[in-house]
Amino acid sequence: MCGFSGELRFDGRSPDVAAVAKMMGLMTDRGPDAEGMWSAGPVAFGHRRLSIIDLTSHGNQPMHDADLGLTIVFNGCIYNYQQLREELRAERGYRFFSTSDTEVVLKAYHAWGDRFVDRLQGMFAFAIHERDSGRTFLGRDRFGIKPFYLTEDGARLRFASSLPALVAAGGVDTSIDPVALHHYLSFHAVVPAPHTIVNGVRKLPPATTLAIEADGRREQVEYWRPDFTRDPDRADWSERDWEDAVLASLRQAVEWRLVADVPVGVLLSGGLDSSLAVGLLAEAGQRHLATFSIGFESFGGEEGDEFKYSDVVAREFGTDHHQLRIDTERMLPALGDAIGAMSEPMVSHDAVAFFLLSQEVAKHVKVVQSGQGADEVFAGYHWYPPMQALSDELGPGVVSRSGRPGPDRDVLVRRAVDAYHAAFFDRPHDEMAQVLRPEHRIERDVSRQLVEDHFRQPGAETATDMALRLDSQIMLVDDPVKRVDNMTMAWGLEARVPFLDHEVLAVAARIPPELKLAQEGKGVLKEAARRVIPNEVIDRPKGYFPVPALKHLQGPYLDHVRDALSAPEARERGLYEPAYVDALLADPNASLTPLRGNKLWQLALLEMWLQTHAVRPA
């Protein structure tokens, strides 16, 4: 919805308003409709607005309420803001000067304190400053849909909706974080919070608030975590009962995401997830819904579009459908622009697809719903069935009826980590010595340790539950969620993701794994969807946003990769062992990750991103 920036001083000096303005100026695409600045005492806030709710100037930010002594910058959308507004008005006596959700957030904080975030249905990142106490309160939504980056030294803390904006403002340690680099090369560019690829910038984790008192005291709170254990009150539920619960939660989720003072469209890939969103919206009475699909040229014998499936859904529900076909001449120039839109490096091929699709969609609407997240929530990936086989093999001793770990819990965790590593990791730790120069290596396998630590946390009974929790809370946040936010916001387009509704996950997390894993994955979702959309779309082979030219590197794309890896900045930075890079360049399409990503593209993309955003070698 927007982009914000800010600075909080701890040394008695005034904030650097010029630095805040510079950060704001680099986020114009996130908020093309209005801009604002506010500064008082040790704090300065900046904001770029994309007007979605309350299109008048009353909704502009930073928003200051002189009576309450509160100022806010906010990015996102609170889908239940009207209900909260009425509760605040009728039961608490608050008066409102706008019809925006931003003002509701401000007054909800005043009324209910730090835990007001529990009441929010939506996606959000915000910073609120209290005039009288000097307190600043930061927060991020449960799935990290909206970004929140921070950098600080002893004298100040700065924050922004974009990592490059913080770097451009100056004073940031831009050396490469070796832990983040290890994660990047292990998790296909996922760098979990709080790390980012540069040492001087951190991320506020999802589902987290951070209170900063005037005297510097801090309290960081994780305010939400899903429960992946079985619910004894639903022990007698049939498959039909679970399907009913899934449909009810998704119906509410897509309807929540219609809240806007502008039209709302759908990104329709032709897969189950986006097709179901269209079907549920049609079921809710949406007529002539605008839908959008994208396709690319075929490369290496791989098809580049899935129009035949998106066309089925468009015809079934009578949508106002738009197809966008991209040829090489258009995609190659867009590659640099897409990298420029990335707050962090992203290797997934469909980043360019989303970038170009968003460019087209933004000509028609300002808000779209998208199907991202369903695979991580409803078990659609191929590594989940082997995880469940481990739990089945080890039997009921793993978790006792009381819910406490049984004697085989450690065995289950170790073997679950092994299985996840084999299916998901791009490369083993031992390969890092071949990839990275010595100064960028670390001795510990920090990526494997992150997975093991997460699997050991309570609240997930089976190996499948452990993997689903990790994917929905960590891997999802810093790959598809971030990709969709960055690529859509590059064109002033707001993307909403109904499958990443915390009430949808609250249902899905409790579903017995065998129901989710049926029908080669997402079984319970598929059966529920049969009541809404054609079977032809449900029973099709699994697809994705294909960009074959970035998997099968050749021609101008390969030249682009070679240029990035041999650039003076790359040589000065010295991330990679030259022999490893030379071997990949000699046979650019031979080395693929277990998830079929191109290892050469992964290395090059990081360098392209660092060069594009002028992140200089430290």
Positions in the chain short of pLDDT 70: 1, 297-305, 328, 395-407, 543-549, 551, 618
pLDDT of residue 348: 86
Contacts of 564 (CB under 8 A, 6+ apart): 570, 604, 607, 608, 611
The pLDDT score that the predictor gives to residue 397 is: 40
The reported pLDDT for the residue numbered 195 is 98
Choose which CATH entry (3.30.420.40, 3.20.20.70, 3.40.50.720, 3.40.50.620) describes domain 232-373+476-548.
Answer: 3.40.50.620
Rounded distance between C-alpha atoms, residue 415 and residue 612, angstroms: 41
First vs last Cα of the chain: how many Å apart?
34
Q: How far, in Å, CA of 137 to CA of 447, rounded? A: 31
Q: What is the pLDDT of residue 546?
A: 54
Q: Please give the pLDDT value at position 400.
A: 42
Alpha helices in 341-398 (DSSP H): 350-361, 374-378, 384-394
Rounded-to-integer distance, Cα 412 and Cα 351, Å: 36
What pLDDT score does 513 carry? 94
Q: Which of 534, 464, 546 is nearest to 272 (CA)?
A: 534
CB 148 within 8 A of CB 138: yes
Tell me, what's the pLDDT at 129? Answer: 98
| Edge-to-edge strand ranges of the sheet holding 367-369 | 320-326, 290-296, 264-267, 367-369, 494-496
- What pLDDT, on a 0 to 100 scale, did the predictor assign at position 396? 45
| Annotated domain spans of the chain | 2-222, 232-373+476-548, 378-474, 552-612
Backbone φ, ψ for residue 612 (5° rounding) = -60, -40
For every residue of 584-595, DSSP letters joined together read: HHHSTTT-B-TT
CATH code linked to domain 2-222:
3.60.20.10
pLDDT computed for residue 302 by the predictor: 59
Helices and strands: H and E segment counts in the chain: 25, 17
Helix/strand/coil for 426 = coil
d(CA 276, CA 568): 48
